[in-house]
Amino acid sequence: MVKAPLLGDGLSRTRLHYLLIMGAIGIYLPFINVYFEQDLGLSGRQIGLLAAVAPVMTLAIAPVWGAVADARGSRLQVLRWIITGTAGGAVLLGLPTSFWPLLLAMGLFALFQVAIIPLSDAVTAAAAAERGIPYGSVRLWGSIGFGLGGILLGQVGQGWGLRIMFPIYALLMLLALPVAWQMVPHEPPSPTGGSGSALNLLRDRSIALFLLVAGLAATGITAGYVFLYVFMSSLGASPGLLGAVSAAGALAEVPMMLWGGRLIRKRGAPPVFAAGMALCALSWGLFATLRSPELGLLIQMLNGAGVGLLWPAAVTFVAQRAPSGRIATAQSLLSAVMFGVAPLAATQLAGAVYDAVGARVVLWVAAGIISAGVLLVGLFHQRIWPPEEVSVERPQ
């Protein structure tokens, strides 16, 4: 049974934190490219460039935020700075109506926004491991928030227009700010020394190969999502249906995160990640054959199930392999790959393919890229997780 996110203890506050921040992201992410295309009339290539800003910032800035948080030994303090900056950036992003001012506003917004999830995950994964509970049992409240956010904007956007997403996003972030003052009773220790921590982490062959596979998964997932809702809108989907599709995927993550935690304990994180990839590849292939937008609800539930397996598995694997004092750096490295390097390529590829042959082919490309990642796991799985390291302890 899912425990309600009450304020009685640290992890309950953490559940509420995820509910609010992912609710804000659920209001923004499914609709932003529809807003750019339909409300502002931007081209596919312009949308692709705007979508590339967050990956660039994730690659360049997220590891810096993680290193700062680790060095200070106070990840929650840095997280509060970032939440405040993100709320202000969302308000600014809703003001421009032409491409170049939008590009500048997107950069300011992403400067803060890209670090929210890795820092939240760093704190949560460590606290969950200390208490002996699956990370996914806390993180699933983010999936619930994402789904509710999509439903909210799908309904409100029909009457007020999609631009209303920006003040609502900022409001939810400001509501999350006091919650972040004390998400957990205490944080993992600060580093005991050493430099170049990200490079040191990459010298672990399992981590390096896992990040390669994670990058392929993220490339395919991002390529599909860049134009999924634009594609469904072209099939006649209303904002309300788009919100319902977003919610269906997010809410399908919830039982998978609960069940996936048990699988991770029994089988290890990487095999669960591979199973999630396979489900995502299948879902993008089904989306590419879509003719009736209403069927997107069912397909998105399959996609959500895949994400519900692969994301907790990725966070858990990295948290297990990273030294305790470098957890924020490790999670930022994971984000730099999954939300930086891979999506940077994916957004440009998706924009070019969309302009040339349309959104349906973009979805086929997404399915193919993720399938390539599944094949890579099949070929090199013993190097990613040797049999004797299925249940690996965090190195000190």
In a domain, 129, yes or no: yes
Sorted by sequence, the CB contacts under 8 Å of residue 327 that are 6+ apart come out as 70, 122, 125, 126, 188, 319
pLDDT tens figures, 263-283: 888 877 778 888 999 999 999
Please list the alpha-helical segments (H only) found in the chain: 10-28, 32-34, 44-60, 62-72, 75-93, 99-113, 116-131, 135-160, 165-179, 197-202, 205-234, 239-267, 269-288, 296-321, 327-336, 342-357, 359-384
Q: Would you state the structure tokens that stand for residue 146, as one six-digit string? A: 């994402």
What is d(CA 214, CA 335) in angstroms, rounded to the nearest whole number? Answer: 10
* Amino acid sitting at position 353: V
What is d(CA 202, CA 212) in angstroms, rounded to the nearest whole number? Answer: 11
pLDDT tens figures, 170-207: 999 999 988 877 676 555 555 444 444 566 666 777 77
What is d(CA 333, CA 198) in angstroms, rounded to the nearest whole number? Answer: 7
In a domain, 4, yes or no: no
Q: What is the mean pLDDT of each run of 10 residues along the chain (396 residues)?
A: 46 86 89 88 85 84 80 78 94 92 94 89 77 79 85 80 91 88 59 51 75 89 87 87 83 83 80 91 95 91 92 83 70 80 82 88 94 84 60 39
Range of the domain at 50: 10-182+197-389
For residue 331, which of 102, 339, 168 has the smallest C-alpha distance?
A: 339
In a domain, 5, yes or no: no
In a domain, 124, yes or no: yes
In a domain, 188, yes or no: no
User: Given this model, what pLDDT does residue 391 score?
Assistant: 42
* Amino acid sitting at position 95: L
User: Given this model, what pLDDT does residue 1 score?
Assistant: 46
- The total number of structural domains in the chain stands at 1
In a domain, 122, yes or no: yes
CATH value at residue 129: 1.20.1250.20
Phi-psi region of 41 (alpha: psi -120 to 50; beta: other; left: phi over 0): left
DSSP labels, 311-364: HHHHHHHHHHHS-GGGHHHHHHHHHHIIIIIHHHHHHHHHHHHHHHH-HHHHHH
What is d(CA 70, CA 189) in angstroms, rounded to the nearest whole number? Answer: 9
User: Given this model, what pLDDT does residue 89 score?
Assistant: 94
C-beta atoms surrounding 325 within 10 Å: 19
Q: What is the CA radius of gyration of the chain?
A: 19
In a domain, 26, yes or no: yes
119, 128, 191, 325 from 195: Cα distances, Å? 20, 27, 10, 12
Q: What are phi and psi of 323, to 5 degrees?
A: -60, 150
User: Given this model, what pLDDT does residue 325 score?
Assistant: 65
What is the number of alpha carbons within 13 Å of residue 283 lying toward its C-beta? 27
In a domain, 70, yes or no: yes
Which 8-state DSSP code applies to residue 120? H
pLDDT tens figures, 65-93: 877 877 776 778 888 899 999 999 999 99
Q: At what angle do helices 99-113 and 75-93 cross, to 10 degrees?
A: 160
